[in-house]
Amino acid sequence: MKVGRLLAALAGGALFAAGFALAGTATVSLTASGPNPATVTVEWGDTVVFTNADSIARGVTSSRAPFESGAIAPGGSFQFRFDGRAGRYSYVQTGSRPNTSGIVELKASGTVSLKAVPAKAVYGSNVTLSGQSSYPGTPVVVQLRQAGGSSDWKDVLPLVASDTGAYTGGIKALAGGRLRARVAANQISSDLVDLEVLPRMRVGVQPGRVRAGSRALVTATITPGGAASMADLETYDADRKSWSHESSRKVSPSGKVTFVFKADKGRNRLRVTLKRWYLDPGFSPVVSKTLVVTGT
């Protein structure tokens, strides 16, 4: 049974220093002979300022961007921020016959990084996601593709980069998979970051002291229920100084499993383990604390 849980967002962005420049501007002069320069190249998030350098009213209009300045008086200006898809945006300079045209080339060549701490987290614990965007003051979206699930990416943490380009926020680890951060209207992605989740496991043994040859019950409760299909009981061999397999049991849908252990004389050390092949995708192997049964 696959555990179809996504990560739950806990917190928004906080700031820390990094030293990125703010978005830039480019200026286009509207003249009697047309826009100057006729083609201008800007980075995603930059603003283009259209200044009327003529003696009569001029304007600019674009159906793709889209924008419509209306009439710009001589010496006046109109500005537009380019934060859409990268590509070529043509526009028309109005105010004379025939109208002339210009082009804004929009590039998206920035970067974004992502780090998850811890990268292997206990189920239900907090994971801090942080990174650096080359687009300060703009949205950063962290997405998850859940291990063993569909190939779709799901938004799990929307943030806004600080004026230095830094971002940080928290999620709760409910299932593992791959994470990525995206900026510039989802046109630029970070490197992929793997997040593994360890099921929580609570174990106990009753009684802790029995006659040699008698039986004790070892119980384990695994959270979330359904994360593991089987569990192993292991015993410690003091002579070989190693752990060996004692028995395997199915885990109930609620996450409970019980082992019956026949105690040898003396101190018996036990533990419960969840192997990778017993676990749903995205969950990591877990070893319980050591239990002791004394055989008298």
pLDDT digits (tens, 9 = 90+) for 179-230: 999 999 999 999 999 999 999 999 999 999 999 999 999 999 999 999 999 9
pLDDT grade for 22, boundaries at 50, 70 and 90: low
Name the residue ranges covered by the structural domains of the chain. Answer: 8-17+110-198, 25-107, 200-295
Flag whether pLDDT at 272 surpasses 70. yes
For domain 25-107, the CATH architecture is: Sandwich (2.60)
pLDDT at 20: 37
How sure is the predictor about 148, in pLDDT bands with cuts at 50, 70 and 90?
confident
Question: Is 25-107 in the same CATH topology as 8-17+110-198?
Answer: yes
Q: Residue 150 has what pLDDT? A: 73
Q: Give the mean model confidence (pLDDT) for residues 58-62.
A: 97
Hey, what's the torsion of the CAs at 231, 253, 278, 206, to 10 degrees?
A: -10
The DSSP element (H or E) to which 238 belongs, if any, is: none
Nearest in space to 261 (alpha carbons), one of 277, 250, 272:
272
Q: Is the pLDDT of residue 21 over 70?
A: no
Verdict on whether the full-model pTM lies above 0.75? yes
What per-residue confidence (pLDDT) applies to 4?
A: 36
If you average pLDDT over every residue of the chain, what do you get?
A: 91
- The class that CATH gives domain 8-17+110-198 is mainly beta
Average pLDDT over residues 27-45: 97
CA 34/CA 32 separation, integer angstroms: 6
The amino acid sitting at 177 is G
In the CATH hierarchy, which fold is given to the domain comprising 200-295?
Answer: Immunoglobulin-like (2.60.40)
The two beta strands, 47-52 and 115-117, are unpaired
Mean local confidence (pLDDT), 124-141: 97
- Cβ atoms of 90 and 103 closer than 8 Å: yes
